[in-house]
Amino acid sequence: MSAKPFLKIDHVDKVFPLGKGKEYVALRDVKLEIRENEIVSIIGHSGCGKSTILNLIAGLDTISNGVILLEDREINAPGPERAVVFQNHSLLPWLTVYQNIEMAVKKVRDDLNPKEVKEHVMKYIELVNLDHAKDKYPGEISGGMKQRVGIARALSIEPKVLLMDEPFGALDSLTRANLQDHLMRIQMQTGNTVIIITHDVDEAVLLSDRVIMMTNGPEATIGEILEVNLPRPRERLTLQHNEEYLRCRGAIVEFLYSKFAKHDD
């Protein structure tokens, strides 16, 4: 790990008050350092607080104890340098694909003139191969296309960190594979720092440089961190029998289903 981390999560707790003096400790003493240009995924059972971590980094939720630093600056509110791709895409249904991205670009890049805005928007629409659908409304395109628009919108504001909350969770497995490939290709072009919340073991290994494994809540914290030493670009077909891939996959499965197995109450 380099001396100066890009994003630093330092002894962070998250406590939700339940009323009547009671409280729920969702996260306890979470420590994590993320490098620039790194793809990190956070994996764990449902209820382990992995989405909570993302919301804290995004600034959509407040930290109870500890601090999160992005390039040595404390995070305490949402901001466009930390773009979020939401699980359900959250495109505005009354705007076209183009307008959804344009709205974000116009707000964040007020230095651009109208011609530059148009070029900028089109650049990111082309990045996710959606030129043909730019004038369609979200209701007229498939779930996978919507999520690509969500990614394009997030990238178009050129964030320092791209936060993805189970971005492909609601999609069928073929579409999901397609989007994972898209994401890896785009990240290689743009060099974004990406944090992905997931509950999919293969997705975590395929996409990540490191996989952060969360223990179960309450008082969830980071259990293990796994380095995925696979060269890029990664090819899902050839990885199926790759030793490193199988080792990583095995380690995560071991963590999730043996060490921190979750039994239904």
Partner 1 sequence: MLLKTINTVALPTLLFGVLIAVWSTVSIEIPGFPTPMETWNELLVVLSDPLYDNGAGDQGIALQLMSSLKRVFGGFALAIAVGIPVGLLIGMSKMAQTAINPYIQILKPVSPLAWLPLALFVFKDVDMTAIFVIFITSIWPIIINTALGVRSVSEDYLNVAKVLQLSAFEKVFQIILPVAVPFIFTGMRLSLGIAWLVIVAAEMLTGGLGIGFWIWDEYNNLNYSHIIIGIILIGVVGYILDTIMGLIADYFDYRKRGRV
In the complex with partner 1, which residue's Cβ is closer, 78 or 223? Answer: 78
> Using CA atoms, how far apart are residues 119 and 215, in angstroms rounded to an integer?
45
- Note whether 180 and 11 are within 8 A (CB): no
CB of 51 to partner 1, least distance (A): 12
Binding mask 57-96 for partner 1 (x = CB under 8 A): -xxx-----------------xxx-xxx-x-x-x-xxx--
Residue labelled with tokens 């307008």: 99
Q: Cis ω on the peptide bond leading into residue 93 (within 30° of 0)?
A: no
- Dihedral (CA of 190, 191, 197, 202) sign: positive
Task: Sketch the per residue contact string, 145 through 164, with partner 1: x for CB under 8 A, - otherwise.
Answer: ------------x-------
Q: Which is nearer to partner 1, 93 or 191 (CB)?
A: 93
Closest approach, Cβ 57 to partner 1, in A, equals: 12
Spatial CB neighbours of 216, under 8 Å, sequence gap ≥ 6? 44, 45, 47, 48, 260, 262
Nearer to partner 1, 58 or 207 (CB): 58
Closest approach of partner 1 to the CB of residue 130, in Å: 17
> Is residue 169 at the binding interface for partner 1, with CB under 8 A as the rule?
no
Among 108, 112, 117, 122, indicate the residue that binds partner 1 (CB under 8 A).
108
Tell the smallest beta-carbon distance from residue 185 to partner 1 (Å): 24
* Cβ at position 157, least distance to partner 1 in Å: 7
Site size toward partner 1, by CB under 8 A: 24
Show the beta-strand stretches assigned E in 35-178. 39-43, 65-70, 73-74, 82-85, 161-165
Q: What are the C-alpha distances in Å from 29 to residues 49, 51, 65, 220?
A: 12, 16, 8, 9
In the chain, % helix, strand, coil (3-state, to 5) comes to 40, 25, 35
Contact positions vs partner 1 (CB under 8 A): 58-60, 78-80, 82-84, 86, 88, 90, 92-94, 103-104, 107-108, 137-140, 157
